[in-house]
Amino acid sequence: MSQFQKKTQITRLERLGSDIIRITLDSPEISKIATPGQFVMVRTGKGKDPLLRRPFSISQVSNGRYFQILFKVVGRGTALLAHCREGEYLSVLGPLGSGFQIDYTTINCLVGGGMGIAPLLFLGKWMSRKCPDNLPLVVIGARTEGELEPLVKDFQEIGLSVYPATDDGSLGHHGFVIDVLKNLNLDAGSKTYVCGPYPMMLAVHLFCKEKGFSCQVSMETSMACGMGACLGCIVPVERGGYAHSCFDGPVFDAEELLWEVK
Amino acid sequence: MGSKIKEVDLGVSIGSLRLKNPVMTASGTFGYAREFEPYVNLHRLGAVVVKGISLEPRAGNPPPRIVETSCGMLNAIGLENVGVNRFISEKMEYLQVVNVPVVVNILGDTLEEYREIAERLADVKGVAAIEVNISCPNVKKGGVAFGTVPAMAAAVTAAVKQKSTVPVIVKLSPNVTDITLIARAVEDAGADSVSLINTLIGMAIDHRTRKPRLANVIGGLSGPAIKPVALRMVYQVAQAVSIPVIGIGGIETVEDVLEFMLAGATAIQIGTANFINPRASEEAVEGLAKYVAEQKLGSIREIIGAVVIP
Ligand SMILES: Cc1cc2nc3c(=O)[nH]c(=O)nc-3n(C[C@H](O)[C@H](O)[C@H](O)COP(=O)(O)OP(=O)(O)OC[C@H]3O[C@@H](n4cnc5c(N)ncnc54)[C@H](O)[C@@H]3O)c2cc1C
Ligand SMILES: Cc1cc2nc3c(=O)[nH]c(=O)nc-3n(C[C@H](O)[C@H](O)[C@H](O)COP(=O)(O)O)c2cc1C
Ligand code: FES
């Protein structure tokens, strides 16, 4: 289990939309060993407030040296990160958690919503490099075109077929990713790799269960440490009790989790 | 750096336990130590205190269990742990090899449970001391925390002392009107040392949803926010008892360590800071070595209780 605490330099900071930011960080240690679905814990400031690190999925790695995080500004920590400048350093812990289990022998479908798309970019790139003959399908959704369009392009650039959906119909299907997924009529034995808001993951899980598809989901929980020390990051599991999102996950077989059906 | 540390005397004693330096890790913030292997040279620490262990495994509280607050965090983990038997069979082996003194933090619902855990830990190789978490509710006394009533705190201390073969550290709750009364009670009952403070009970509410932010409604506050309270309590307790005091609460840096030692702590524990900087404990050891060398002290012990009250 290799993990590092590193001061990593911001080599690039891009604004993909009004509140969506992509940061490229220079860290050979982390970039060389990270696998899709893993995450990093980032310090957002230098002082005591905000105190805790923030978790972000690794959304791409390149040249065995750089990795990216992609995030939406939702609160103080992400707002601070959004104001960083290129050349500055961020303290990062990682790579953390266990990622996606990939099966290259079947039809694979990546399903993402909102910022849940971040780890799927890394996964899609990884799959297309390891197995160019079996490219995954990509079904992703967001609120509007502005949020989704740059990410659709990223997937298309690596040669993947993207099926977008937006809440307001400004890009692709007008509605939810689950509807798009249903309309794909995937073959029996297909596998889905899912990350997004809870209701979306639940809908995809229920659909996959009905169809007999395997379904892996990446769970977001609140986290204090990201490395197994605080026991704060739990998710209820089917067999009773809890699993820990930061070391048993964040990626889980959806069948193992106890879902809260509202 | 390594050679510098050997030159200076950082050793302190907690009862019969000799520590190579005063820096320990706080229970529940350092897992079972192995989690920190990628970041810390564990053998360089004074001691590690492992996550609280109960007689039977506990699943803990439902989520959310943690929430960040100003300069701190609230937790309601609910004492999730693997239970004493699995702790001994699965976690101790690694710790024995690491060659760092292991302090086992224990908790229970009844006096009998505390006694029983102490008995099972007796003679387990590598256990250097027991730290008794008395902030737990006494199930037989209507759920009043053991640590809030001097007689109950004394009874737990005596029960554990009776069975333990290693020094017993009693970890005090700050959620009391006069912590020195509890400290004296456990000293009289035979405690070899007291550690303080455990978390301060707090609460956070989301005004938009009108719900508490923790599923358990209330939780324990830790981190820099509690440091002044902890420092005050360490100072008061150090005046009140003659056994060694271990200071805990918001310690992040060597400067914090020095402040607690000046207030009267013989050793200290680093808690929440491990989450933000997993190397905080080892960096504190390095910082202390540098301090002793720069100040040309004979040993770090010279600063214990050396606060100058004008
Ligand atoms: C394993 C993991 C991977 C993640 N990957 C990404 C990613 O790639 N991109 C991204 O944008 N975000 C990701 N997140 C979520 C991200 O960590 C939070 O958005 C971030 O911590 C918010 O910090 P803040 O200080 O800006 O907001 P805060 O001030 O802490 O909170 C602002 C608001 O966001 C909500 N919030 C905070 N944390 C979370 C959370 N973990 N899940 C849901 N709601 C939350 C709060 O309830 C509050 O309403 C991930 C989370 C986890 C656990
Ligand atoms: C997530 C978490 C879990 C904890 N679990 C325990 C525990 O099991 N037993 C215990 O005695 N104290 C426990 N504590 C309390 C700490 O050991 C320490 O007393 C407290 O956090 C104050 O120190 P700090 O401000 O440095 O964190 C826990 C604290 C935190 C933050
Ligand atoms: S986030 Fe601390 S144990 Fe998972």
Residues of chain A in contact with residue B39, where contact means CB-CB under 8 angstroms, are 3, 5
> Is A252 within the bounds of a domain?
no
| Burial environment of residue A63 by CB neighbours within 10 A (0 to 12, 13 to 18, 19 or more) | exposed
> Is B273 within the bounds of a domain?
yes
* Among the partner residues A1, A93, A229, nearest to B31 by beta-carbon distance: A229
Size of interface A-B (CB pairs under 8 A): 91
Q: Which CATH number characterizes residue B100's domain?
A: 3.20.20.70
Is B60:A242 a contact under the CB 8 Å cutoff?
Answer: yes
Question: Which domain does A151 fall in, by range?
Answer: 108-218
| Structure tokens that stand for A213 in this block | 């598809």
**A132 phi, psi to nearest 5 deg:** -65, -15
> Is A208 within the bounds of a domain?
yes
Q: Is A118 on the interface with B (CB under 8 A)?
A: no
Considering A218, A241, A256, which residue would you say is the last residue of a domain?
A: A218
Considering A47, A68, A96, which residue would you say is the last residue of a domain?
A: A96
Q: How far apart are CA B244 and CA B15, in angstroms?
A: 7
| Total structural domains within chain B | 1
| Total structural domains within chain A | 2
Q: Which residue matches tokens 């996550």?
A: B51
Residues of chain A in contact with residue B35, where contact means CB-CB under 8 angstroms, are 227-229
Inter-chain contact A224–B73, Cβ cutoff 8 Å? Answer: yes
> Is B209 within the bounds of a domain?
no
* A226 ligand 3 Cβ < 6 A: yes
Question: Which domain does B193 fall in, by range?
Answer: 2-60+78-199+223-303
Examine the domain organization and report whether A213 and A156 are in the same domain: yes
Q: Is A225 a residue whose pLDDT tops 80?
A: yes
Q: What is the pTM of this model?
A: 0.95
Inter-chain contact B66–A48, Cβ cutoff 8 Å? Answer: no
Q: What is the pLDDT along chain B (310 residues), one digit of tens a residue?
A: 444 445 799 999 999 999 999 999 999 999 999 999 999 999 999 999 999 999 999 999 999 999 999 999 999 999 999 999 999 999 999 999 998 999 999 999 999 999 999 999 998 999 999 999 999 877 777 778 899 999 999 999 999 999 999 999 999 999 999 999 999 999 999 999 999 999 999 999 999 999 999 999 999 999 999 999 999 999 999 999 999 999 999 999 999 999 999 999 999 999 999 999 999 999 999 999 999 999 999 999 999 999 999 9
Q: Which CATH number characterizes residue A57's domain?
A: 2.40.30.10
Inter-chain contact A228–B31, Cβ cutoff 8 Å? Answer: yes
Crossing angle for the helix pair B227-240 and B254-262, nearest 10 degrees?
30
| Burial environment of residue B11 by CB neighbours within 10 A (0 to 12, 13 to 18, 19 or more) | middle
- Cα(B289) to centroid of ligand 2, in Å? 26
Considering only CA atoms, which residue is closest to atom 6 of ligand 1?
A56
Among all residues of chain A, which has the CA nearest to that of B80? A231
Q: What is the DSSP letter of B62?
A: P
Q: In this structure, which ligand is nearest to the CA of A52?
A: 1
ipTM above 0.90, yes or no: yes
Burial B233-261 (b: 16+ CB within 10 A, else e): bbbbbbebbebbbbbbbbbbebebbbbbb
Examine the domain organization and report whether A70 and A171 are in the same domain: no
Among all residues of chain A, which has the CA nearest to that of B225? A48
What would the DSSP string read from start to end of B236-249?
Answer: HHHHH-SS-EEEES
